Amino acid sequence: MMKKLFLLTLLISVVAITEMHAQTTNFDASWQFFNAEAEGAEKPDFDTSKWRKLDLPHDWAIEGPFDEKYNARCGGLPFHGTGWYRKNFKMDASAKGKVVRVEFEGAMYNAHVWVNGEFVGNRPYGYIGFEFDISKHLKYDGSNNVIAVRLQPEDLSSRWYPGAGIYRSVWLKVDERVHVGHWGTYITTPTVTEKLAVVQNETTVTNKTILPVDVTVNHDYFSPDGKKVASAKEDIKVAANASGTSNVWCNIENPQRWDTDTPNLYKVVTTINQNGKVVDTYETKIGLRSIAFTKDGFFLNNKKVRFNGVCLHHDNGSLGAAIYRRADERKLQIMKDMGVNAIRTSHNMPSRTLLELCDELGLMVLDEAFDVWKMEKVPNGYNVFFDEWAERDIKDMIRRDRNHPSVIMWSTGNEIIEQKDKKNGWKVAKRLSDYCKEIDPTRPTTMGMNNFPNPYTFNFAQQVDIAGINYKPTKYEWVREEFPELPMYGSETSSCTSSRGVYHLPIEKYKTHESLHVTSYDLIGPPWAYPPDVEFHFQEQNPYNMGEFIWTGFDYLGEPTPYGGKDNSTNGYWNGDWPSHSSYFGAVDLCGFPKDRFYLYQSHWTTKPMIHLLPHWNWKGMEGQNIPVYCYTNCDSAELFVNGKSMGKKVKGKDLTELKVNFLRYEPKTFQSKYRLSWEVPYQAGNIKVVGYKNGKVVQEEQIFTAGKPAKVTLSVDRETIDADGRDLAYVTVRIEDKNGNLCPNADNQVFFSVKGAGNLEAVDNGNQISLESFQANHRKAFSGMCLAILKSSNKSGLITLNAKSKGLGSAKIVVETK
């Protein structure tokens, strides 16, 4: 084994939270859109009078409609076809002679770009950012310039909902002809201790003039509280029409380190000085921290840390793939509440926004590039572009992301079919890993592997620094015995499925259910899957394992397993169980409402006393029949009461709950879980209450009442004040309650919304995986008693008033202020 790869002390400080050139302008406003073929639409004089006007980011597919003619595997939404975007803009005469670039953070997919009718470039992969120098194509005389973008997502190109359109932001950059290059700063820290951080700064300076230039590259470093703490500079010569590199270092004493509890961020201001004049300014936020991966675990700032990780797809449910900073922020905050400390960007390059938020919130990131290489999973996937684009795409990902303190590993792929290719698969794995090391040798490479034991016996796992293991908890010990120097972690675990608030009795380990929902008793999954408790057990049995990334933190659009089809198959559509069209895997549903499994993970991953009780207590017609009652808690013990009568106290770790299981490579049909407490309780209407004890004292309790008939609609909002920037969001939770304020767990009442004031109703949802209601309607049925309305601010300060009403239940109102 290559031991030097497995004892990696990786000390990194970071860029890319903010890039500020001499002049960078957000380019999202005032585009035109047409969703069809339009021959000649790249020409400036093309008639767009009937095109739609909109602002970016934009995902055309989320607008629907849902239809069985579209692939349920991809959400049952129209993400493929041709879409055109155009924008008219003027350039000031002062920009003539400078370098003008347009940067796309992401466009889905197969983007082709024209400026004033002249083709400037294309980029097939929808998840990677890119830019083009458009200086020579522009008019600087005050007349109109036209940028046109054609996107052509294809059917059978993704295994989940990819979205469609220019779904991330666009920027216009105007620089002097001498400037910091694209993603041009690379900051590392060879040493980070409690007393000292040694910071290296490698800066690429681009010279677009016909003569060599002498420049001074200066860096000023500012602490999290804004104090200047260090400086460094270097004089360099840059050849004509070429790039040069400055390398400097400095010491920062008593650094405020970045970690998951205190994600401290420094700011670096880089200036390029030519002939005594500042020609470019580049502002960056960085984090100072050390990471180390050994056979005995992962260490952050010399402290051993387990990955309490989740896999996340890039969509945000009813908002689709379009980037909203608040949507990602809320998603990550909900994950942190669950006890999450790490994110796997499954299975594609994340947005810059997501990484910025992970930097700010203290979440570690496994940054993943591809779901497929040369060998296909679906016919029109990335395999079509792999030979031509893979090297450039993965290198660009690392150039863009390598300075984020949150990023700790580079993943070259997920469940790649080349695992099965004994002769050549390892060669491709090595090539991609080498690309990563060429751009950033400070972080390890990894991959999620599932074709056990081939990756290990075919010299495939050996090509990355750390082999991720998908769904093989029973094989951790084997890997340790056969490859004792190899660090390991569960790169994809559990795959448990459920529908929020749905409970099927009796408890059975079924494959599918006629309702097209999945019980929330947290034991159902596809053949490779198992309850979270199983992974908890094997992680504890193998303390050298670095942790896990569960599949998944949130539900996502598409891949409605266990309904519709088989994973990794290339036989097309997954519509056999229509209208099932979105994921059941999440610990949280599409709305961001926690499922019961959220609390199971919270009970294992957090220490603040918590307790959760399930199921609901509305079982009319089942009086006297036993109802399984589960408790998820991190307390020492818990006592259950039914209508005030004790059903007994259970001790966590001693009183076990038998779970029915049936998954690959595991012979027993039951698993004795010490991670959940349970009782069998004869049903009688009223209430159930659970009380949690620590050291013999009551520290938490939860109570569920039998709800009466639906009587009212109630509203609550995540934030009462939001930014008046035309992009900020407020999430309004809608509950159907009885007259006493109890949630009606089976309610499916239709709720109608109206909005007045300084914003609009951006989307609605209810988390129901089989609902075909439009995300952009002004109404939504409740699912398990709840639904969601998302408000978006305008560019004006004021009040947004949301009214919600339902037949026979009256109405409710909530007000959000925009500033």
Q: Which amino acid, one-letter code, is at 648?
A: G
The token duo for 75 is: 């959400």
pLDDT (tens digit per residue) in 191-232: 999 999 999 999 999 999 999 999 999 999 999 999 999 999
Q: Report residues of the chain scoring pLDDT below 70.
A: 1-22, 568-571
Phi, psi of 602 (to 5 degrees): -60, -35
Nearest to 614, CA basis, from 592, 591, 638: 638
Q: Are 214 and 235 in contact (CB under 8 A)?
A: yes
DSSP string covering 177-242: SEEEEEEEEEEEEEEE-SSEEEEEEEEEEEE-SSS-EEEEEEEEEE-TTS-EEEEEEEEEEE-TTE
Q: What distance in Å separates the CA atoms of residue 245 and residue 282, rounded to the nearest whole number?
A: 15
Q: Residue 462 — left, alpha, or beta (φ > 0 → left; ψ -120 to 50 → alpha)?
A: alpha
Strand bridging mode 445-449 / 466-470: parallel
The token duo for 592 is: 């961001």
Q: What was the pLDDT predicted at 696?
A: 95
Q: What distance in Å separates the CA atoms of residue 213 and residue 347, rounded to the nearest whole number?
A: 43
Q: Are 77 and 557 in contact (CB under 8 A)?
A: yes
The burial of 295, by beta-carbon neighbours within 10 Å (0-12 exposed, 13-18 middle, 19 or more buried), is given as: middle
Q: What was the pLDDT predicted at 568?
A: 66
Which pTM was predicted? 0.96
Strand bridging mode 83-89 / 145-151: antiparallel
Which residues are within 8 A (CB) of 532 and not within 5 positions of it... i.e. 6 or more apart? 493, 494, 496, 522, 550, 597, 600, 601, 604, 675
Sheet holding 626-633, edge to edge: 611-614, 626-633, 677-682
Q: What was the pLDDT predicted at 203?
A: 97
Q: What was the pLDDT predicted at 8?
A: 38
Tokens 């990484």 sit on residue: 355
Active site residues: 415, 492
Q: Are 391 and 435 in contact (CB under 8 A)?
A: yes
Q: Which amino acid, one-letter code, is at 175?
A: D
Long-range contacts of 88-92 (CB under 8 A, 24+ apart): 88/30, 88/144, 88/145, 88/146, 89/27, 89/144, 89/145, 89/147, 89/172, 90/142, 90/143, 90/144, 90/145, 91/138, 91/139, 91/140, 91/145, 92/140
Q: What was the pLDDT predicted at 665?
A: 84
Q: Are 729 and 719 in contact (CB under 8 A)?
A: no
Q: State whether the Cα torsion 421-427-433-439 is positive or negative.
A: negative
Q: What was the pLDDT predicted at 569?
A: 65
For residue 115, the SS3 value is strand
- Alpha-helix runs per DSSP H in 381-524: 386-401, 425-439, 454-457, 476-482
Nearest to 200, CA basis, from 271, 268, 265: 268
pLDDT (tens digit per residue) in 786-800: 999 999 999 999 999
The token duo for 121 is: 């470039």
DSSP string covering 68-85: TTS-GGGTTS---S-EEE
DSSP string covering 740-807: TS-B-TT---EEEEEEEESEEEEEEE---TT----TTSSEEE-BTTEEEEEEEE-SS-EEEEEEEEET
List the domains of the chain with CATH numbers: 3-19+180-290 (2.60.40.10), 24-175 (2.60.120.260), 306-605 (3.20.20.80), 611-705 (2.60.40.10), 712-818 (2.60.40.10)
Q: What distance in Å separates the CA atoms of residue 188 and residue 202, rounded to the nearest whole number?
A: 8
